[in-house]
């Protein structure tokens, strides 16, 4: 294992995500939290240590944390990356593939390694994913991913008309400014008040 700046950054993000999950749990929420991670961090000492700390801090916390990886990175995962993913998946961690631009990869393998979610931007979803012979329509994307047991999340939904079209094609999960903007968690203020 190694230690890199990116690994330290992702370890800090992971620690912050754990704090947010603790806050949500204190409020009685069983929500999951998505956290972007670089594939490179999977083999980093700092990242592995932060992950071990989270598991030690609160039982069941890993099952509510979803690590997200960009499709371009997942294409280049080595055997060591997949082993790290499998190890984390065995203790309940979930994964999502983001920035999906095509279906030219083995999504069944992703499912076997604990990937539960596929995130597509609304504009990409509504236009259809490109193929050498044209585009895969949105309804076919939904059907294909559902057959593989993967949940599709359509992001970047900003208008009611887009939401209606996304729902019409069969997508059940969405994100975007239409649902409200990002909110600050303000963990530091709570720590000082305690």
What are the structure tokens assigned to 42, written together?
Answer: 């999977």
**Average of pLDDT values for 26-40?**
87
| Averaged confidence pLDDT in the chain | 84
pLDDT tens per residue, range 48-91: 766 666 666 666 666 788 999 999 999 999 998 898 888 888 87
Contacts of 28 (CB under 8 A, 6+ apart): none
Of residues 43, 41, 163, 154, the one with CA closest to residue 98: 154
The structure's pTM equals: 0.84
Confidence band for 188, pLDDT divided at 50, 70 and 90: very low
9, pLDDT greater than 50? yes
Distances in whole angstroms, Cα of residue 176 to Cα of each of 25, 97, 119, 140, 182: 24, 17, 12, 22, 9
Q: Which residues pair with 120 in a beta bridge?
A: 154
- For each of the domains in the chain, give its residue range(s) and CATH number, in order of start: 100-194 (3.20.20.450)
Q: Which is higher by pLDDT, 180 or 56?
A: 180
What are the structure tokens assigned to 78, written together?
Answer: 């080595």
190, pLDDT greater than 60? no
In this prediction, residue 119 carries a pLDDT of 95
**Average of pLDDT values for 142-158?**
94
Measured distance CA(82)–CA(79) in Å, rounded: 5
Most confident of the following: 11-15, 91-95, 100-104, 143-147: 143-147
Of residues 25, 5, 12, the one with CA closest to residue 51: 12
């Amino acid at each position: 294992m190694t230690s890199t700046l990116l690994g330290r950054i992702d370890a800090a993000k992971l620690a912050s995500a754990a704090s947010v999950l603790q806050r949500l749990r204190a409020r009685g929420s069983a929500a999951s939290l998505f956290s972007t991670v670089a594939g490179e961090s999977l083999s980093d000492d700092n990242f592995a240590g932060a992950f071990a700390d989270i598991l030690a801090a609160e039982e069941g916390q890993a099952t509510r944390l979803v690590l997200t990886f960009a499709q371009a990175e997942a294409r280049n995962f080595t055997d060591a990356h997949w082993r790290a993913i499998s190890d984390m998946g065995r203790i309940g961690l979930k994964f999502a593939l983001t920035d999906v631009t095509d279906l030219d990869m083995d999504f069944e393998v992703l499912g076997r390694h604990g990937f539960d979610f596929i995130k597509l931007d609304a504009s990409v979803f509504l236009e259809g994913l490109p193929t050498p012979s044209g585009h895969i329509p949105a309804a076919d994307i939904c059907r294909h991913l559902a057959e593989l047991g993967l949940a599709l999340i359509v992001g970047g939904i900003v208008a009611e008309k887009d939401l209606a079209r996304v729902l019409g094609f069969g997508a059940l999960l969405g994100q975007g400014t239409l649902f409200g903007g990002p909110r600050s968690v303000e963990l530091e203020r709570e720590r000082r008040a305690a």
